[in-house]
Structure 1
């Protein structure tokens, strides 16, 4: 548990130190292909089955903050933060073949599952779609489809220290933001 707390503290420190940079990755893009990965954290969350859709869940992250952290792959190593509301807007508006709307990203979900006074670390891979963000409550909601090969994924009502690591997107490949 200490390792998880240290990891989240480090991530939180990185996020705070870069709040002043809230630029679109496109303002920093070079003429080469740049792939960006995204990190979103929440103080708590839940994973609830969607009725009639086996393997699909509503993933809710609470108290996410106003920004999504992004970083590019090597050799560029560009980092920054981007407003969550704009991240969702661009996700939903991008109809290009490689955009998140048409080609939903994979994501690694890591959290503490709290059940009957017991905590256990959970990690699994999902495909994300249908993002929605409530800025007032700082709540992010996704439809999460469990990917083949993932085991022991079950409803989890009380997730803590939730981290979502979202697959890459090539913003410079399509000439626009996310």
Structure 2
């Protein structure tokens, strides 16, 4: 009777441990705390549609890439939905100080770029819509293979502190949000 009880107890413990392993990815061995930095962001999508007031990224990647400049070169990624969710979080949020961005697309096999200011993002599945103002001579245009390079945000990240980083094989830090 005791062996059946202990066997059942062991099975439950293993199931709980297995479930936890699936929900929380293991941190690499050489982890260090995320440092504040000037973070820049990149969002990519299959296509973009532009009208007079909105930029609509269709087939947007589920991850927003991020990177910092010197002296500490760091890279990272965060869920795009969370990037949008925390747009207006904090005293220096993007909502209070909208970022500049460069939209790069392909039109008839040729690259097109425009510089804009982004506001009011809304995400629905893999469609991400921003309101925008034009900051360059060239207006944004609809096209394919869209890349949106978003200007910097200083800090640990608009929503991921406390995050963690680890050193990659080339010495740089790769970072992840800490939620």
Q: Same fold (TM over 0.5)?
A: yes
Q: 1:56-75 counterparts in 2 under 5 A?
A: 57-75=53-71
Q: Which has the higher helix share?
A: 1
* Alpha carbons of structure 1 residues 85 and 174: separation in structure 2 relative to 1, 3 Å: closer
**Residue of structure 2 aligned with 1:78, choices 70, 74, 77:** 74
Report what 1:102 is aligned to.
Answer: 96
1:124 aligns with 2:114: yes
Contact persistence 1:108–1:164 (CA under 8 A): yes
Q: What is the TM-score when the length of structure 2 is the normalising length?
A: 0.66
Look at both structures and tell me which one has the larger radius of gyration over its CA atoms: 2
How many pairs does the alignment contain?
134
* Alpha carbons of structure 1 residues 28 and 40: separation in structure 2 relative to 1, 3 Å: farther
Q: What is the TM-score when the length of structure 1 is the normalising length?
A: 0.67
Report what 1:37 is aligned to.
Answer: 40
Report what 1:165 is aligned to.
Answer: 149
* Alpha carbons of structure 1 residues 173 and 38: separation in structure 2 relative to 1, 3 Å: closer
Report the Cα offset of residue 175 of structure 1: 8.9
Post-superposition CA distance 1:54-77 (Å, at most 9, x none): xxx200111112110001111211
Runs of at least 5 residues in structure 2 that lack an aligned partner in the other structure = 1-24, 27-31, 162-176
Report the Cα offset of residue 28 of structure 1: 4.4
Post-superposition CA distance 1:82-112 (Å, at most 9, x none): 00111111113x141x210100000011111
Rounded Cα–Cα distance in structure 2 between residues aligned with 1:129 and 1:161: 22
RMSD (CA atoms): 2.7
Contact persistence 1:67–1:81 (CA under 8 A): yes
* Alpha carbons of structure 1 residues 120 and 67: separation in structure 2 relative to 1, 3 Å: same
Report the 3-state secondary structure (helix = DSSP H, G, I; strand = E; otherwise coil) of the residue aligned with 2:86.
helix
Contact persistence 1:95–1:101 (CA under 8 A): no
Runs of at least 5 residues in structure 1 that lack an aligned partner in the other structure = 1-19, 22-26, 50-56
